[in-house]
Amino acid sequence: MRNWTLAGVVAVVVLVLALPARSASAQQDPEVKKQLDAMKAQMDELRQENQALRNRLDAVERKEPPKRGFTDEDKKLLGGLIDTYMEKGPEIKKYPGKPQLSGVLFAQYGMQLKSGDKIRSDGSTANAFTSDSANGRDAAAFDVTRAYFIVREELTESLSMRLTFDGAAKRNPGDASGFGTYAVVLKHAFLEYKDLIPATTLVFGMADLPWVSWEEGLYGYRMQGTVFADRNGYLTSTDFGAGVKGKLPSGYGDYHVAYINGEGWSRAEGFFRHSAESTGTDSFDTKHKNVEARLSLVPFPEGGEFLKGLMFTGFVDYGKYASARDTRVRTIGAVTWKYEDWFRLMGQYLYASDPRSFAPRAGNQLLYPTISSFGTVDRSGTGYRRGTAVAEGFSLWNVVNFKILHESLKDFEFVQRYDWIDPDEEVPNNGNLRTIHGIAYNMSKNVTLMLDYETVRYDKARAAFGSSGAGGPPTFDDGTGDTRPDTAQILFQTQIKF
Helices and strands, counts by H and E, the chain? 9, 18
Q: What is the pLDDT of residues 407-440, one digit of tens each?
A: 999 999 999 999 999 988 877 777 899 999 999 9
Mean predicted confidence (pLDDT) in 292-318: 93
In whole angstroms, give the CA distance from residue 164 to residue 152.
Answer: 9
Question: How many residues would you count in the chain?
Answer: 498
Burial per residue of 234-257, b for 16 or more beta-carbon CB atoms within 10 angstroms, e otherwise? bbbbbbbbebbbbeeeeeebbbbb
> For residue 395, what are the β-bridge partners?
348, 419
- pTM to 2 decimals? 0.70
Residues 6+ apart with CB under 8 A from 396: 345, 346, 347, 348, 417, 418
E strands along 180-275, which residues? 182-194, 200-208, 238-247, 253-260
Domain boundaries, the chain: 2-67, 100-497
Mean predicted confidence (pLDDT) in 297-325: 88
Pick the CATH number of 100-497 from 2.60.200.20, 3.90.1150.10, 3.90.10.10, 2.40.160.10: 2.40.160.10
Q: What is the pLDDT of residues 481-498, one digit of tens each?
A: 345 678 899 999 999 999
- Check residue 153 and give its pLDDT: 92
Tell me if 238 sits within 8 A of 207, measured CB to CB. Answer: yes
Q: What is the pLDDT of residues 346-382, one digit of tens each?
A: 999 999 998 876 666 555 455 665 554 444 434 343 4
Query: Could you tell me which of 235, 360, 227 has the C-alpha nearest to residue 292?
Result: 235
% of the chain exceeding 90 in pLDDT: 42
Q: What is the pLDDT of residues 55-65, one digit of tens each?
A: 777 776 665 55
Structure confidence at residue 214 as a pLDDT band (50, 70, 90):
very high
Poorest-pLDDT segment among 78-82, 88-92, 294-298, 442-446: 88-92
Is 465's pLDDT higher than 60?
no
Other CB atoms within 10 A of residue 462 CB: 17
Rounded to 5°, the CA angle 20-26-31 comes to 140
CA atoms in the 13 A half-sphere facing the CB of 399: 22
- Check residue 86 and give its pLDDT: 53
DSSP per residue, 303-365:
SHHHHTTEEEEEEEEEEESSSTT-EEEEEEEEEEEEETTTEEEEEEEEEEEEEGGG--EETTE
Q: Is the four-CA dihedral 263, 269, 272, 278 of positive or negative sign? A: negative
- Check residue 174 and give its pLDDT: 42
Burial group, residue 265, by CB count within 10 angstroms (0-12, 13-18, 19+): buried
Poorest-pLDDT segment among 36-40, 116-120, 186-190, 415-419: 116-120
